[in-house]
Amino acid sequence: MNCKDLAQTVIDSCIPKLHRNGEICKPYVICISGSRPALGKSTLADEIQRILGDEQCSVVEMDNWIQESREYRLRNRVAGINLGVYNEDQITKSLETLILDGQPISMPVYDHKLGKPRSEEIKIQPRSIICLVGAISICPRFWPYKNYLLCLKARTPEDARDMTIRRNVTVRGYDEQDAIRDYEYTEEEYLRHVEPNIKHADVVVLVDKSYAYEADFGLTKDRDLKRNVSSRYRQAC
């Protein structure tokens, strides 16, 4: 399936869970993580928001709380999945304000093209559905805020490597050798911090180099999504 189909399928699975005892439970937090970088986490979140509309859905990009520059991370061989490069206290306070208190927050901006934080902020409003986007959203540290955890997983290690290096060179302005070095130590961090937690995801979706998506039902626990995907497949046939 393509990104639009995946977004709609996730929405169809999550919307019924918004209702508890006949009442709407707000907000409903969808964490979108990935087994590796460059798998389309932000693209999926933006598509979910596009379908639902800005008045129903907010997107929170956790990378915006990175406080160390790309130059620092390359020099010290520190990956973006390492919580040490984030302003973790500020993330926690912001999530509590937005999700628990239902108040707007000012989200900082990290510019991946420049490789450093920018001196501006984005106002994020509390909405019925909040997409919490970032590889670190799969870390147990952030589970108290989630209702639903989706993990994008590269179909093969070769796909993961090619997609990450290509994205960093063509979109984020890395030198090719820096992109290769970055991938090597980033891979170590993903294996340490992300892979062990994939089994806790409600949905695991395989992604290939063409950005075609396929739910991995061997790892997916969400029965509603399985039913919705099966229904869409039958209709397509």
**First-last CA distance in the chain:** 13
Q: Which of 201, 32, 59 is nearest to 129 (CA)?
A: 59
Q: 10 Å Cβ neighbour count for 197?
A: 17
159 Cβ contact partners less than 8 Å away, ≥ 6 residues apart: 207, 208, 209
Q: Is it true that the peptide bond before 27 is cis, omega within 30 degrees of 0?
A: yes
- Predicted confidence (pLDDT) per residue in 36-88, tens digit: 888 999 999 999 999 999 999 999 999 999 999 989 988 998 888 888 899 99
pLDDT at 227 over 70: no
Mean pLDDT of 19-38: 77
Q: Which fold, 3-228?
A: Rossmann fold (3.40.50)
Cα-to-chain-centroid distance, residue 177: 26
**Lowest mean pLDDT: which of 4-8, 33-37, 168-172?**
33-37
Q: What is the structure's pLDDT at 20?
A: 55
Q: Identify the residue with better confidence: 78 or 131.
A: 131
Predicted local confidence at residue 118, as pLDDT: 94
Domain segments of the chain as ranges? 3-228
- To the nearest whole percent, how much of the chain has pLDDT over 70? 90
Q: What is the pTM of this model?
A: 0.89
Per-residue confidence (pLDDT) for residue 235, from 0 to 100: 44
